[in-house]
């Protein structure tokens, strides 16, 4: 059974809540291995990124409780 963007986002919220922080590189590696490459793409800067569907679901789920650190490339529980 194929995973959904919602399931990926739910994993990200659980992981960030549990660990307090989720590095983008760790998230991309985990998502690629456990959910599939369909949720990852290479952005205009040539860096791997999570799909827009995943990010949209993620934002809806955490409702502002998780912040993105632009300099450190990670999400943190606030």
Residues 5-49 have pLDDT tens digits of 999 999 999 999 999 999 999 999 999 999 999 999 999 999 999
Whole-number pLDDT of residue 47:
92
Whole-number pLDDT of residue 7:
98
Q: Is 3's pLDDT higher than 80?
A: yes
Give the separation between CA 31 and CA 38, rounded to whole angstroms: 9
Whole-number pLDDT of residue 2:
86
Give the separation between CA 36 and CA 54, rounded to whole angstroms: 12
**pTM score of the predicted model:** 0.94
Whole-number pLDDT of residue 58:
98
Joined together, the tokens standing for residue 71 give 């300099």
CB 40 within 8 A of CB 48: yes
* For helices 5-19 and 24-34, angle between their N-to-C axes, nearest 10 degrees: 140
Confidence band, pLDDT 50/70/90 cuts, at residue 62: very high
Q: Is 1's pLDDT higher than 80?
A: no
């Amino acid at each position: 059974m194929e995973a959904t963007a919602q399931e990926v986002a739910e994993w990200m919220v659980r992981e960030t809540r549990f660990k307090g922080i989720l590095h983008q590189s760790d998230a991309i590696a985990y998502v690629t291995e456990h959910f599939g490459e369909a949720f990852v793409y290479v952005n205009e800067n040539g860096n791997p990124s999570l799909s827009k569907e995943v990010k949209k679901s993620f934002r809806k789920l955490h409702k502002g409780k998780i912040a993105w650190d632009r300099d450190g490339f990670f999400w943190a529980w606030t």
